[in-house]
Amino acid sequence: MSNEIKLILPLAISSSDSILNQIEPVLKPLKSVIHVKVDEQLLQLHLILQDNSNVNEVLQILSKMGVDVEVTQRNFPILEMSCASCAGSVEDILRVTPGVLEVQVNYASQKGLVKYLPDVVQPEQLKKAVQDGGYDLFIEDTDDRLDELKENRLLSSRNELIGAWLLAFPLFMIGMFFMNIPYANLIMWVLATPLVFYFGRQFYIGAWKQLKHRTSNMDTLVALSTGIAYVFSVFNMIFPEFWEMRGLHGHVYFEASGVIIAFILLGRYLEEHAKNRAASSIKKLIGLQPKTVHSILPSGEVIEMQIVNVSVGDILLAKPGEKIAVDGTVTQGSSYIDESMISGEAHPVKKEVGNTVYAGTINQKGSFQYQAQKVGAETVLARIIRMVELAQGSKAPVQKLVDKIASIFVPSVILIALVAFGIWVIFGGEHGLSHGFMAFVTVLVIACPCALGLATPTALMVGIGKGAENGILIKDAESLEIAHQLNVVVLDKTGTITEGHPSVQDIFWNDQEDLSFNQSILYSIEQSSEHPLAQAIVNFFKSNQNFISDIEIENITGQGIRGKYKAQNFYIGNDRLMASHGVLVSDKVQSWLMQQYQYSHTIVYFFDEQHLIAVISIADKIKGSSQQAIATLHDMDIQVAMLTGDQQQTAESVAQQVNIDVVKSQVLPEEKYDFVKNLQSQGKIVAMVGDGVNDSSALAQADISIAMGHGSDVAMEVAKVTIISSDLQKIPIAIQLSRLTVKTIRQNLFWAFIYNVIGIPIAAGVFYPINGFMLDPMWAGAAMALSSVSVVINSLRLKAKAIH
């Protein structure tokens, strides 16, 4: 079969080698698998599948078996696309390329997000496949070369636009007002010929490439309409007697064919400019990266070097007013840093020895030295740029419907134009042929799939970019589209509502014997934990306690930690952990506890198998922005819930201070997941906000997952939205941004659809029997050009709208 795909996949076995023997029996029964063979010596899997669409199914099965296959995802710039139909054509080309798993081509951003098997297909092969289809795929890693290409194309487009209008204006004037001057037809022919075949050559080349692949796009419509109008006009000019013998007048349409080209070139030039503005957020982020940096050599000499040559561990110098080159830690000096371009926060942040600085932020008046910790693609700024690029290249659910419409749009328009021509010829009477011809050309010209194709992605590009400028990173378009429907926001307490920097306020030692030993045990066990409360205890004891190294540690999920030292077990955790071991609390301790709960303090118990040793009171200050953020969510008719592993008294006290609707205390990670799932079963659209590993399952289940920027890498990897500054007020801003973006998308789609729904019948001559009106093809070309530009300009209005 011609669609068969042959693959040779290197295998990485994460379990025992016995899995190799299971691969063939598991894959052979699949209908999509024609042949399967495992080479155990070379660790390769030889496959023949029915077609490329079956690869994902096989990979999922292999993954479940513990067999990993390397998969790469990359965002490639796509060149030579002229309309939304082109994006669909490029998708189809890449989708059937062996080794390609998923592909999303975004016409507005001119990029294709491709997930592929690097052991099967390389970028060079993807490029060739796209080029064979009449387009181009940019595979170089440097953006400078791509920017240069775009600038050259824009300059060339501008020059051709000027040249086209130098010919189009006199052609228009003669065709509309001076038709009776001597040699009018000949002059118009001379003006129209270079307009159509030189300045409009891109449309004919594009249409021919589409024809070779049995597809069609906007170029097809333009080439058909202008080409037929030109040929028809040349025939009528050379053989006027053909019509005179039949009692008709042979009209020429040179002005229509030429001016249509000029209008469409103008529309594309304006559209390209507008799309560049829509994508400006990425350029701003990239512009934050300095090209050079001052490096301090071991000898103390300061040299200027290219940022690409910086390595982890290098000592760098930040002078006043300079941009920070890489992520690092301050080693000497201090200063205030403007981090607004990354966090969205307007106030400069003081940086001292030990503090972290981020690439792209701006040093204010001070001078300091810092050690490079993350360079190149690993910096926070690089990750932000990568995330925004991927998000802007992704597709919202509504775009899938638009893509289906765009894929059949051009053939449908050609059919409508032919039907209109036929109706005019049959029922149009004396002038039926000329009116039919005009209707045919006008329908082809006025129809515009570009407006449909640009409606959703341009709004999303601007919305996602505006989010990034405000310190809100949105991972994909679907999240931005769904967020406007939210009616419940679930918040984790520690690090989300509170600052996430707990500190020990008081310790009640119930057992005063062996106090020094117990303090060392408590300190040493907590040293092995990454929980914020554990760190608070470690910081409290750090300066004056001995570390005991030979303690056997076991984490008890959602409850605490166990440390075993010389056959004796010690426990540190919440009251649930203590109750499970039957340890009792005296009246004296209970009285002390009631005092701590009044201040919303978190209580940690330290005990052994028999009795309570100590009780630690820990406070985590509520963020100044939390109360206002929750009030704003309430104003937006959004219910707010809080989940925490903390004690009930502490949780209720915090909830009361910030006016939270629903509180769940002492919850385990799986209970957070169940809580979110239960809300969804009630028809709620749920956002989960968290910052820790224990939030990851609930984040994954939620409709919208939001991670706070200071949190764990796991939480940020799972989350669809990341708040860089960890400011809770960014959440209502993100929801407001979603609402504005979705409103803009709906406006765009409405105008794109209504334009075609109204424009095509008018172009076909539906009003002629009523009032004698026939739309001139020239004005149809102007309307078509304006439709695309208006959609992009409407999306750009998002940039000017304030969100707060």
- Residue 65 identity: M
Give the Cα-Cα-Cα angle 64, 70, 72 (nearest 5 degrees). 120
Residue with tokens 């601007």: 462
DSSP string, 698-731: HHHHSSEEEEETTS-HHHHHH-SEEETT--TTHH
- Taking each helix axis from N to C end, the angle separating 254-278 and 449-469, rounded to the nearest 10 degrees, works out to 20
- pLDDT at residue 1 in the model: 43
> 544-548 — which CB contacts under 8 Å span 24+ positions?
545/519, 545/520, 546/520, 547/520, 547/523, 548/520, 548/521, 548/524
Give the pTM.
Answer: 0.69
* Cβ atoms of 114 and 122 closer than 8 Å: no
- pLDDT at residue 247 in the model: 60
Return the closest-CA partner of residue 265 out of 178, 358, 200.
200
- pLDDT at residue 284 in the model: 66
- pLDDT at residue 694 in the model: 63
Q: Of residues 314, 327, 338, 492, which has the active-site annotation?
A: 492
Q: Residue 390 has which token pair?
A: 């991927």
- pLDDT at residue 712 in the model: 47
Q: Return the H-helix or E-strand segment holding 540.
A: helix 532-541
Active-site residue flag, 39? no
Is 552 in a helix, a strand, or coil?
A: strand
Angstrom distance (rounded) from CA 287 to CA 370:
22
- Residue 565 identity: Y
- pLDDT at residue 716 in the model: 57
Return the closest-CA partner of residue 658 out of 690, 632, 628.
628
Is 256 in a helix, a strand, or coil?
A: helix
Angstrom distance (rounded) from CA 560 to CA 566:
20
- pLDDT at residue 268 in the model: 75
Q: Do β-strands 686-690 and 488-492 pair in parallel, antiparallel, or remain unpaired?
A: parallel
Q: Which residues pair with 304 in a beta bridge?
A: 294
Angstrom distance (rounded) from CA 312 to CA 501:
28
Residue with tokens 């942040």: 349
Angstrom distance (rounded) from CA 224 to CA 231:
10
E strands, 567-624, in order: 568-573, 602-608, 612-619
Angstrom distance (rounded) from CA 290 to CA 353:
23
* Residue numbers of the chain with a pLDDT score lower than 70: 1-3, 12-20, 52-54, 64, 66, 84, 141-144, 146, 243-250, 271, 274-287, 341-347, 389-396, 399-400, 403, 406, 448-449, 543-545, 692-695, 709-718, 802, 804
Q: What are phi and psi of 562, to 5 degrees?
A: -120, 140
Angstrom distance (rounded) from CA 102 to CA 91:
9
Number of H helices, E strands in the chain: 29, 31
Q: Which residues pair with 560 in a beta bridge?
A: 556, 573
Q: Residue 310 has which token pair?
A: 């910086």
pLDDT tens-place string over residues 570-619:
999 988 899 889 898 888 999 898 888 877 788 999 999 888 999 999 98
Ordered strands of the 100-106 beta sheet? 100-106, 111-116, 72-79, 136-137
Q: Which residues pair with 6 in a beta bridge?
A: 48
- pLDDT at residue 687 in the model: 92
Note the Cα 785 to chain centre separation in Å: 28
- pLDDT at residue 403 in the model: 67
Q: Residues for the chain: how many in total?
A: 804
Q: Residue 121 has which token pair?
A: 């297909």
